Amino acid sequence: MAAAAAATPGQSGPVPFKDIDDGSVSKHTPKEEFGDLVSALPRRQQSILQLRLYQGFWLPAHWVPGTVVFQRRFAPRPDDVVLASYPKCGTTWLKALAFAAAARGAYPPASAEHPLRRLNPHDCIPFIDEIFAAGEETKLDMLPSPRLMNTHLPYTLLPEPVTAGGCKVVYICRDPKDMVVSLWHFLRRAQPDLSFADTFESVCDGTVMVGPVWDHVLSYWRASVTHQDRVLFLKYEDMLRDTGANVRRLAKFMGQPFSAAEEGAGAVASIVELCSFDKMKGLEVNKAGTAGAYCAMPRDAFFRKGVAGDWANHMTPAMATRLDEIVREKFRGTGLTFT
């Protein structure tokens, strides 16, 4: 189990992770402890990433030891909220919306001083997978409750105390066709000659980072059906269609529904506006610098187009039909669709 929470007495969360990360926790890699386990796993290379097949999913190899530590030692607090996603499905947006909604008491969304106007959403909410990969998990103890954290791990790889109901989980998914396009554009920032066809193939054959995609999505879908009170399942496309309604769902699920007074004062609209694609993309903090501990990516790579349906500009109708059919077949009988 992780060490007991050591947040500042009297302070309540969420607070921006970057504001409490004072550099006092030094990195150490849990690689030595679990090196044999990692080297025994099947491996493949996807673009810039070396992947290892761990418990049915192709994880970036450097995450595996940290994932083992996370699984064995993470102690959720009852008011924690874990934000989960397959990469490129709306993580950054969900992090911004969840932070803005959950922290609205301390940080009014319309305020010029709001942390999201000076910090990238990834600097406000810690990324569990990289934190544990770097052996920096005691940083999480420094966060006052309620804590918001995020992960790209599938539900089946989350620590047992989490899946047994130790805290709440919010998942965001997206049409896999748009995810592929987004992933390709993102990886191309690190590997400019990456072919779209190769990225598409790795998604279709399930050997993509944190894939298979369908198993990832279904792991959370099933959990959300069985445990509606503690696993919220969101779709990027629904969020685009009616962001306000989904912000209300999110806030209610996190135990902080908007009061009539807040509604009257336009709090939901302020959060939607603060976290809107155009607003976030236009902020200086999101135009310059990098995010990501292992492979620092330019911050602007997280804000590309922010729409649904961009796949039509990148894949042939035959490719689209092929991926749709794979996903439809995998989802058959589950009640989940993307159309």
User: How long, in residues, is the chain?
Assistant: 339
Q: Nearest-CA neighbor of 307 among 109, 93, 87, 84? A: 93
Shortest CB 92 distance to ligand PAP, Å:
3
Per CB under 6 A, the segment of 91-99, 214-222, 223-231, 253-261 that binds ligand PAP is: 91-99
* Nearest residue (CB) to ligand PAP, 47 versus 85: 85
**Site for ligand PAP contains 202 (CB under 6 A):** no
**Site for ligand PAP contains 67 (CB under 6 A):** no
DSSP annotation of 146: S
Per CB under 6 A, the segment of 62-70, 222-230, 266-274, 297-305 that binds ligand PAP is: 297-305
**Site for ligand PAP contains 144 (CB under 6 A):** no
Q: What are φ and ψ of residue 165, in 5° steps?
A: 110, 15
Residue in 114, 122, 152, 314 annotated catalytic: 152
Do the Cβ atoms of 14 and 143 come closer than 8 Å?
yes
Shortest CB 302 distance to ligand PAP, Å:
5
Among 177, 185, 235, 314, binds ligand PAP (CB under 6 A): 185
- Beta-carbon count within 10 A of 243 CB: 19
Among 67, 92, 202, 246, binds ligand PAP (CB under 6 A): 92
Q: Nearest-CA neighbor of 194 among 44, 60, 43, 46? A: 46
* Nearest residue (CB) to ligand PAP, 162 versus 183: 183
* Nearest residue (CB) to ligand PAP, 100 versus 162: 100
CA atoms within 13 A on the CB side of 40: 6
Burial of 169 (0-12, 13-18, 19+ CB in 10 A): buried
CA angle 330, 202, 308 (to 5 degrees): 70
What b-and-e string marks burial along 186-201, b requiring 16 or more CB atoms within 10 Å of the CB? Answer: bbbeeeeebebeebbe
**Site for ligand PAP contains 302 (CB under 6 A):** yes
* Nearest residue (CB) to ligand PAP, 258 versus 303: 303
**Site for ligand PAP contains 280 (CB under 6 A):** yes
Q: What token pair was written down for 116?
A: 């999201």
Among 141, 215, 238, 310, binds ligand PAP (CB under 6 A): 310
* Nearest residue (CB) to ligand PAP, 75 versus 293: 293
**Site for ligand PAP contains 298 (CB under 6 A):** no
Burial of 161 (0-12, 13-18, 19+ CB in 10 A): middle
Shortest CB 226 distance to ligand PAP, Å:
25
Among 182, 199, 246, 270, binds ligand PAP (CB under 6 A): 182
Q: What token pair was written down for 58?
A: 């192709």
**Site for ligand PAP contains 277 (CB under 6 A):** yes
Give the β-pairing of 49-54 and 57-60. antiparallel
In the annotation, is 152 catalytic? yes
Q: What are φ and ψ of residue 8, in 5° steps?
A: -65, 125
Can you tell me the distance from the alpha carbon of 217 to that of 171, in angstroms, rounded to the nearest whole number? 9
**Site for ligand PAP contains 216 (CB under 6 A):** no
Among 62, 88, 168, 235, binds ligand PAP (CB under 6 A): 88
Would you tell me which residues interact with ligand PAP (CB under 6 A)? 85, 87-93, 178, 182, 185, 275-277, 280, 302-306, 310
Positions annotated as catalytic residues are: 152
